[in-house]
Amino acid sequence: MIFASKTLNEFAERGRVVPEISNSKIRELFVQDYRLVYKISRLRIEILGIIHGRRDLKKLWEKEDREK
């Protein structure tokens, strides 16, 4: 997980667009059983979360939006 996150600065777009979110700036990498979800911006890469692959990301994302 640490290695994958450190390489994002050089290869940020290698992850796929998160299907549940459909935003080309929010991507994910699969690392073993986990999804490393991150956001690409012009100046930096922001890790949004590390989520077990069996969790329902859409529900988590919607819950986060409601709590803001």
Q: Spell out the per-residue pLDDT of the chain, length 68, in tens.
A: 777 777 888 888 889 999 988 899 999 999 999 999 999 998 899 999 999 988 888 777 776 664 55
Q: Are the beta carbons of 40 and 13 closer than 8 angstroms?
A: yes
Domain boundaries, the chain: 2-67
The residue written with tokens 């990498």 in the block is 29
Contacts (Cβ under 8 Å, ≥6 apart) of 13: 27, 40
Contacts (Cβ under 8 Å, ≥6 apart) of 11: none
What pLDDT was estimated at residue 39? 95
